[in-house]
Chain A
Amino acid sequence: MKVSVSSKNLVEGLRKILNIVTVRTTMPVLNNVLLRTQNGMLSMMTTDTDVSIVTNIECDIEEEGDITLPAKKFAQIIGSFPSGDVKLVTDPTMTTEISCGQAMFKIMGLPAEDFPEPAEVQELHKIDFNKIEFGKTLKKIGYSVSTDQTRPILNGILLSIHEGSITAVATDGRRLALVEKLLDDAGNGIDGDFVLPTKVVNELQKLLEQDGDVTVRLSESHASFIIDNSVLTSKLIDGEYPNYRQVIPGAFKNSVTIPREHFAEVLNRVSMVLNDAGASVKFKLEPNHLTLSASSAEIGEAEEPLEVSYEGDPVTIAFNPAYLRDPLKNLDCDDLTIRFNDEFKPVVILGDEGFLYVIMPMRS
């Protein structure tokens, strides 16, 4: 292989694919990035065998070919170059010359044949989303994904597509976040549940920053996302996602509306006196008033009132502030609505269109 490519494009491309590379692996080739010429482009791919990502960048091809190079080292070298053209020349001994300006490296690689190809997605469904919208949806719920490896089905985001709407859901069993949206063209008749692993969700968010469309291809076992010049392919998490509808109360006795940013500020301020993860902040509600208070034996106490719209009976509910902070931070809306029945039953928070968050009050 003999190609010339701009260092800026290389860096940009590597940034998208580098996170997939694992350091811990029994297959040394998985530490590498696959480089090959394809359809007049330089195709770069990384994989951990469950998730793989290919990105294609423009280049001048003098001679077609392929090679794999240690990904992190390659990225480090390319990143150190000034802007300009980088020449990659591979010889039959698997050594690749990397040069830019006066700098010249010879790096040992491994043969491209050893590199595992990504799974072929047997497309059942195809659906397009606006990139920014889709990225925001993932961001609004992603923090609720469980990190508990004993319940693998919860280590991902559920995309549930039924009757022309899509619901994206994440829960760790203690809180649940979802975003529901109507699909254009009634979703082309797609009907099914697909659970995307967290790793993919995190990688996707990086690729969804600019405007445009992402095409999602879904099969029974895999999903792939086509975003401009990149394709991210992943195994889906196998298993049945729990029936999340059952934890969302059907009716509420009370409702309170609060300005989101101010609420977040007050919550953060009041919780400064707390020093352990299990501590709670008390919400004392009276008509048109909410008073947040917190205390700990070691530090002291804090209290701050907020003007809110509330017309129900006086009540005090306690929440773990850590579980409230995430939705507050990731939403865009001006006002939040908290709906509840009493101080023990699940509480729902609404904000941006289609967004819903469920959390249990703390026992105070």
Chain B
Amino acid sequence: MDAFYASVEQRDDPSLRGRPVVVGGNPKSRGVVATASYEARQYGIHSAMPTAHAYRLCPSAVFVKPRMAAYREVSQRVRKILHDYTDLVEPMGFDEAYLDVTENKKAIPSATWVARDIRAEIAAVTGLTASAGVSFNKFLAKIASDLDKPDGLSVITRDRAPAFIDGLEVRKFHGIGKSTAARLAALGIFTGADLRARSEIELVRAFGKSGSFYYRIVRGDDPRPICPLRVRKSVGVERTFGTDVVGLPALESILATLSQTAAERLGSAGTSGKTLTLKIRFNDFRTLTRSRTERTCLHGPEALCDLAIGLLREIPEAAVSPVRLLGLSVSNLDTHDEAGDRKQPELPFDSNI
């Protein structure tokens, strides 16, 4: 979906159409931009940027608080449309999904035609535009979907793929973020062509297991299948503070609240996990994480909080430096449902206890 949250706002409030719209926290507070409309992007505003910064870039932009319920509803409608074509849908958040349409329910022979039909149907049902990328693997389909935004459709065929990848900057590759891009640059690797010139062993030495993955994707070989039921890997919660928080007692009481929320989210996801990760961001934006894995699953807010406080105390600086953000996430989740038959069966209570 193109500029999803912002587009929903512009659809629902005609006075916002054609204007720079920023969905996110209040610009006077310390929230971040969730989505910027294309008009706002012209001012250099992008998602994850502090809203205060966005405000400096474009004071005339309209700042709107997110209405998650509205977005969720649209997202569900779109998902329904996608499932009319195939059940191999791998959602990536609210506004993005991978589809494997090799065999589709409507027996449409070309993936490009499927993409065209889906885009038309989304526009008709939701009044919003979506962009699609078509290719023979996830990596290239994602790249393709970014080529002609908004309201576009691009195709990367097998024939075009090598030339296309060669010209691509490495930072656009899946799994290559800012810091990996910098490390690649230090090795003289800037484009797909540069990356392809390196041997697998050289990349593995520099990047470990990921090196192997880079070696393959740069050859158009992305082995990742579409996973319709992508298993949740972590459950987390984080909070950016209105004003910086200083001192362990204050941070610890915030951890107590975060633990409560994290435990509730684990509960509603029906899972628990063995690893807890604490994330702390100081007011100069330096971000540290500390994590610990227990032998058994962590149950309840108390267990999470005790561990979180322990992790916090491992960061001596936390006691003195102003903190901008704290986060907790639980991973190494219990995957008990994968072997449903081997689980201890429930007693036959008739009501939902």
A173 interface neighbour in B300, B341, B347, Cβ under 8 Å: B347
A24-B252, A151-B353, A242-B353 known; A362+B348 contact, CB < 8 A: no
**Complex contact B306–A147 (CB within 8 A):** no
Nearest residue (CB) in A for B296 is A277
A243 within 8 A of B: yes
B255 touches A24 (CB 8 A): yes
Q: Is A246 in contact with chain B by the CB < 8 A criterion?
A: yes
- Chain A, residues 314-351, CB within 8 Å of chain B (1/0): the string is 00000010010000000000000000000000100000
Query: Is A24 a contact of B305 with CB atoms below 8 Å?
Result: yes
Across-interface contacts of A173 in B (CB, < 8 A)? 346-347, 349, 353
CB nearest to A155 among chain B residues: B300
Candidates A23, A25, A360; contact of B345 at CB < 8 Å: A360
- A249 CB → nearest B CB, Å: 9
How many angstroms between the C-alpha atoms of A173 and B336 in the bound complex? 16
Residues of B within 8 Å of A24, CB to CB, are 252-253, 255-256, 259, 302, 305-306, 309
* Interchain CB contact under 8 A, B342 and A171: no
Chain A, residue nearest B339 (CB): A278
Contacts of A25 in B (CB 8 A): 253, 256
Residue of B256, B267, B306, B349 near A149 (CB, 8 A) is B267
A 140-158 binary contact with B (CB < 8 Å = 1; else 0): 0000000111110110000
Q: What are the residues of chain A within 8 A of B270 when measuring CB–CB?
A: 150
**Contacts A26-B256, A173-B346, A247-B347 hold; do A150 and B267 have CB atoms under 8 A apart?**
yes
Flag if B347 contacts A360 (CB, 8 Å).
Answer: yes
- The reply to whether B353 and A154 contact each other, CB–CB distance below 8 Å, is yes
The 8 A CB mask of B236-264 against A (1 = contact, 0 = none) is 00000000000001001101100100011
In chain B, positions 295-353 with a C-beta closer than 8 Å to chain A are 299-302, 305-306, 309, 336, 339, 341-351, 353
CB-based nearest B residue for A323: B344
- Whether B179 is near chain A, meaning CB under 8 Å from some CB there, is no
* Residues of chain A within 8 A of B309, CB atoms compared: 23-24
Bound Cα distance from A149 to B267, whole angstroms: 7
Q: Which residues on the A side are within 8 Å of B342 (C-beta)?
A: 278-280, 362
Bound together, the chains give a CA A171 to CA B263 distance in angstroms of: 21
A362 CA to B345 CA in the complex, in Å?
7
**How long is the Cα–Cα vector from A26 to B253 in the complex, in angstroms?**
5
Decide yes or no whether A253 CB sits under 8 A from chain B: no
**A-B pair number, CB within 8 angstroms:** 81
Interface residue? B15 (CB, 8 A): no
A172 smallest CB distance to B (angstroms):
9
Q: A24-B252, A25-B256 are in contact. Are A149 and B346 (CB under 8 A)?
A: no
Q: A176 to chain B: which residues have CB within 8 Å?
A: 347
Is B349 a contact of A247 with CB atoms below 8 Å? yes
Contact with B along A242-256 (1 / 0, CB 8 A): 110011000000000
The docked-state distance in angstroms from the alpha carbon of A324 to that of B346 is 15
Known interface pairs A24-B252, A25-B253, A150-B268; A346-B347 also in contact (CB < 8 Å): yes
Contacts of B305 in A (CB 8 A): 24
**Given A24-B252, A148-B267, does the pair A358, B347 have CB atoms closer than 8 Å?**
yes
Q: Interface digits, A13-40 against B, CB 8 Å rule (1 contact, 0 not)? A: 0000000001111101000000000000
B340 to chain A, nearest CB (A): 10
Chain B: CB-nearest residue to A151: B353
Check if B353 sits within 8 Å of A147, measured CB to CB.
no
- Whole-angstrom distance from the CB of A244 to the nearest CB of chain B? 8
Q: How far is the CA of A150 from the CA of B299 in the complex (A)?
A: 11
A346 touches B348 (CB 8 A): yes
Complex-state Cα separation, A101 to B336, whole angstroms: 57
Report A-chain residues with C-beta under 8 Å of the C-beta of B263.
149
Residues of chain A contacted by B306 (CB below 8 angstroms): 23-24
**B336 (CB) vs chain A CBs: closest residue:** A278
Is the Cβ of A360 less than 8 Å from the Cβ of B346? Answer: yes
Are B256 and A174 in contact, with the CB atoms below 8 A?
no
Residues of chain B within 8 A of A362, CB atoms compared? 342, 344-345
Task: Determine which of B268, B300, B341, B348 lies in contact with A247 in the assembled complex, contact meaning CB atoms within 8 Å.
Answer: B348
Distance in angstroms from A54 CB to nearest chain B CB is 23
Distance in angstroms from A322 CB to nearest chain B CB is 8
Instruction: Determine the chain A residues whose CB is within 8 A of the CB of B255 once the complex forms.
Output: 24
Please, how many angstroms separate the alpha-carbon atoms of A87 and B264 in the complex? 46
Measured in the bound complex, the distance between the Cα atoms of B259 and A360 in whole Å is: 33
Once bound together, how far apart are the Cα atoms of A70 and B348, in whole Å?
48
B330 CB, nearest partner CB in chain A, Å: 13
Expressed in whole angstroms, the Cα–Cα distance for A82 and B42 within the complex equals 75
The residue on A at minimum CB distance from B270 is: A150
**CB neighbours of B344 from chain A (8 A):** 174-175, 278, 320, 323, 360, 362
Determine the distance from Cα of A278 to Cα of B344 in the docked complex, in whole angstroms. 7
| A residues less than 8 Å from B249 (CB atoms) | 28
Q: What is the CB-to-nearest-CB distance from B270 to chain A, in angstroms, rounded to a whole number?
A: 8
Give Cα A147–Cα B267 distance, bound, in whole angstroms.
11
- Chain A nearest CB, measured from B147 CB (Å): 45
- Give chain A nearest CB distance to B302 CB in angstroms: 7
Contacts of B346 in A (CB 8 A): 173-174, 360
7 contacts between A and B (CB under 8 A): A149-B301, A173-B349, A173-B353, A175-B344, A247-B349, A279-B342, A363-B341
- The list of the 6 closest CB pairs from A to B, nearest first, reads A278-B342, A150-B267, A360-B345, A242-B353, A24-B305, A24-B256
Q: With A176-B347, A362-B345 given, name 6 new contacts (CB 8 A).
A: A28-B249, A154-B353, A246-B349, A278-B342, A280-B342, A360-B345
